Copies of this chain bind each other. A is one copy, B any other.
Amino acid sequence: MDLTAALGRFEELWSPRIAAQVNDYDVRIAKVRGEHVWHSHANTDEFFLVLAGALHIALRDGPGGRERVVVLDQGQIFVVPRGVEHRPASPAGASLLLFEPTGTLTVGDRHDAVPDHVDVTTGHSLR
């Protein structure tokens, strides 16, 4: 599967597609722009690879839960450890590849109120 072609098959933002499965993990691809929601996954790490554009991941993992932002450009990777509150964002837009266990919700298991533009999903099939 060609990732660029697969990204061309949908337009929805913050709405990952399942590009492949590896044992009981998904390889998901997503288009993003603007802000996601603060959330955390109690039981799983989450892997990000920026395929295009730039992704900002705000993290509350500093001393006393202080906030920092990791900026990832194309070709950069980052793992958000389980339990860490984070909020992905992309002011100018980005395309992402994610690895996470099949069934992982986009908004985690603890999250702020979910805005309308964020899809609460465990990933959609690529049509």
Contacts and interface: CB of A to CB of B under 8 A. Distances in A.
Contact of A77 (B3, B25, B44): B3
Interface in A42-91: 44-47, 49, 51, 73, 75-79, 82
A23 B101 contact: yes
Interface string A1-12: 111100000000
A76 B3 contact: yes
Interface in A1-37: 1-4, 19-23, 25, 27
A100 B47 CA distance: 13
A24 B119 CA distance: 27
23 contacts: A1-B77, A1-B78, A2-B73, A3-B49, A3-B75, A3-B77, A4-B75, A19-B77, A20-B47, A20-B77, A20-B79, A21-B45, A21-B79, A22-B45, A22-B79, A22-B100, A23-B44, A23-B45, A23-B101, A27-B77, A27-B99, A49-B97, A51-B75
